[in-house]
Structure 1
Amino acid sequence: MCGAVRFTAQNVPSGFGACYCESCRRWSGDRFAGVHVASDDLDVTGADHVTTLQSSAWANRSFCKTCGSSLWYRLTDGPEAGSCSISVGLLDDASGLVLEREFFVDRKNCIHDLPADRLQMTTADITAKYGALNDGSAQ
C-alpha cells in the first residue's frame, strides 16, 4: 500500500487458492486469497521493511512494517517448505486468475456468503457519491 516493499514474481500460475482458517481470516480481515509461487521466483525490494511472524508450526506470515499490508504466507515445514502464497490483491494484474482450491471450507461463515440482491457499486458510482479519486482506487 505504501510502496516501501515491492516485488516481482515469476512463473505465477493461473490458479489461486482461498483459505478460511482463523489465522488467515484474522490476518486478512476475510478469507486469504493467495497465488502459490516458489521462493526463488520472488524478487523483493525493500526487504528491510518486511516483518515476519511465525504464525503456526508450519508457516509464517510477512507484512510491511511501515503500513501493515499483508504480503505473503510462507510454508516453513513439509514437502512445500520455502514456497509462499502471495496475496492476490497485491498483483498488478490478477485478471484471468481462477479460484482452483479452497482450504478449511468447514470454517466458512456468513461473511463469505454473497447474496444476489446485495448493493454493488462501481468506481464511477463511488466517485459520484464521494468525489473524485486520484487513480480510481480507494484510499
Structure 2
Amino acid sequence: MEGHCLCGAVRFSAPDAKDIGVCHCGFCRRWGGGPLLATHCGTSVSFTGAERITVYASSGWAERAFCSQCGTHLYYRLLATGEYFIPAGTFESNDMVMTSQIYVDRKPDYYAFANETPMLTEQQVVEQYGFPPEDAKS
C-alpha cells in the first residue's frame, strides 16, 4: 500500500493491510483531536522524504511521528518491536475495514461508531499487550 502526507514531502510504502483499528485513549485523542484510526503495518515500512519526519517519544513504549513541513501524522511505532501503525487516511486505498476498537472505556460520549467490532477496555489492552496503564494526565 502506498501513502503520503498532506504536502507529499513524505511518502511511504507498507505491506497490504485492510484492517483498521481504532484507539480511543487520551494520548491518541489529544494527538489528533479524535480517535486514531490506524492500520497495523508491521515492521516492513519504507519512507522517502525521511528528512521531513519529526519523531516524538510519546511514552516509554512508543513514539509518534509527523511531517515537519505540513504536520500530517505519519505513524505510531512500538519501540520494543518496531511495528508501525499508520493513520488509515494517509493511504491512497479506500477499501479498508474497521475491525477493532481499543480503550473503549476512555472514549468520550460525544462520538460513537456504528460499526460492530470487538472492543477492548484499557485493562484488557494492558492484559493482552502488556502496555502500562495510560498516564492519568492524558
TM over 0.5: same fold? yes
Aligned counterpart in structure 2 of residue 59 of structure 1, from 58, 62, 66: 62
Q: Is the 8 A contact 1:39 1:82 kept in 2?
A: yes
Amino acid at match of 2:12: F
Provide the TM-score with structure 1 as the length reference.
Answer: 0.73
Deviations 1:109-139 (A, max 9, x none): 1332369xxxxxxxxxxxxxxxxxxxxxxxx
Aligned counterpart in structure 2 of residue 38 of structure 1, from 35, 42, 59: 42
Q: Which runs of 5+ in 1 are unaligned?
A: 116-139
Q: How many pairs align?
A: 109
Do the aligned partners of residues 114 and 58 (structure 1) sit closer, same or farther apart at CA in structure 2, a change above 3 Å counting?
closer
Matches within 5 A, 1:13-24: 13-24=17-28
Q: Which has the larger radius of gyration?
A: 1
Q: In percent, how many aligned pairs have the same letter?
A: 38
Say which SS state the counterpart of residue 66 (structure 1) adopts: coil
Aligned counterpart in structure 1 of residue 9 of structure 2, from 1, 4, 7: 4
| Greater fraction of residues in helix | 1
Q: Is the 8 A contact 1:37 1:85 kept in 2?
A: yes
Q: Which runs of 5+ in 2 are unaligned?
A: 1-5, 115-138
CA–CA distance in 1 between the matches of 2:106 and 2:35? 10
Deviations 1:89-127 (A, max 9, x none): 0010122x1111111000111332369xxxxxxxxxxxx
RMSD: 1.5
